Amino acid sequence: MKLIPIPAFADNYLWMLHDGKRALVVDPGDAAPVMRVLKDQALQLESILVTHHHADHIGGVDALRDATGARVYGPASERIPAPYEPLSEGDAVHAMGLDFQVIDVPGHTAGHIAYYCAAPTPVTSFSASSPDKPEMSDKPLLFCGDTLFSAGCGRLFEGTPAQMLASLDKLAALPAQTRVCCTHEYTLSNLRFALAVEPHNADLIAYNAQCVKLRERDQPTLPTSIARELLVNPFLRTRQATVKTAAMHFDAAAHDDISVFAAIRQWKNQFK
């Protein structure tokens, strides 16, 4: 099995899993780059996983379904191009011989979901730390849409800070080795903010240097991992003293878990 990020638009990744014959794609906002990969590698698209309703995640669904007959899965409480199989927490998807657990992660949108595969068959991918060397791994996989980014999280368009914090707590509790397949290449801009929050975080400084080198070579910084994000992501670190102190400097009213998270999110919204 191979895991590849298909670039789309300015900074989206449409994640694809394939076994050389069959394929699955996540959040195909644009059908064209997916169709090119299917044609170039002689793949049959079987499944489409959708995390939320934003256009850059669903824009290619109808065209891909019509062209391939792929089965579409998506959040039960959002407007996803029909027909599709509606899902919510507790449901599971069996696709490409893999079992994906559905996790409700409201915050970015009201009905956002994520897909977690605890025990994938060995998957070959290009690691962000070694982009020139294919890596075979059976580590868990997470397709999290716009909920969790490397060193960041999604904007709160429809949800509340309390909802997003709870959603991120769910993801942070997944096994540390979980590969996190985010859907945007926002890492460098997120890291600039993270360094403003925790300028003396050695793990963050080292990760920033690594990601700068990757982007200089036009290599993706993703997938990341839960273990890494717990060290560098201010939105998973809002209970750390350094992040709480920074939040209080931005907003003196930040005093508990939710208000600290809300302050960090608002700071990021206006960060230049």
- Paired tokens of 215: 């982007």
**Residue 94 annotated among the catalytic residues of the structure:** no
Q: 25 has which bridge partners?
A: 16, 48
Catalytic residue among 18, 54, 104, 112: 54
200 carries a ligand binding annotation: no
108 carries a ligand binding annotation: yes
Cα separation, 70 vs 104, in Å, equals 23
255 carries a ligand binding annotation: no
**Do 30 and 14 touch, CB atoms closer than 8 A?**
yes
**Residue 108 annotated among the catalytic residues of the structure:** yes
Catalytic residue among 18, 53, 108, 112: 108
**Residue 52 annotated among the catalytic residues of the structure:** yes
Catalytic residue among 18, 53, 112, 184: 184
**Do 183 and 15 touch, CB atoms closer than 8 A?**
yes
**Residue 91 annotated among the catalytic residues of the structure:** no
94 carries a ligand binding annotation: no
11 carries a ligand binding annotation: no
Cα separation, 12 vs 24, in Å, equals 17
Catalytic residue among 18, 52, 53, 112: 52
**Residue 184 annotated among the catalytic residues of the structure:** yes
**Residue 56 annotated among the catalytic residues of the structure:** yes
132 carries a ligand binding annotation: no
146 carries a ligand binding annotation: yes
**Residue 200 annotated among the catalytic residues of the structure:** no
Catalytic residue among 27, 30, 56, 104: 56
Three-state DSSP string of 135-199: EEECCCEEECCCCEECCEECCCCCCCHHHHHHHHHHHHCCCCCCEEECCECCHHHHHHHHHHHCC
Catalytic residue ranges: 52, 54, 56-57, 108, 146, 184
User: Known binding site for Zn(2+): residues?
Assistant: 52, 54, 56-57, 108, 146, 184
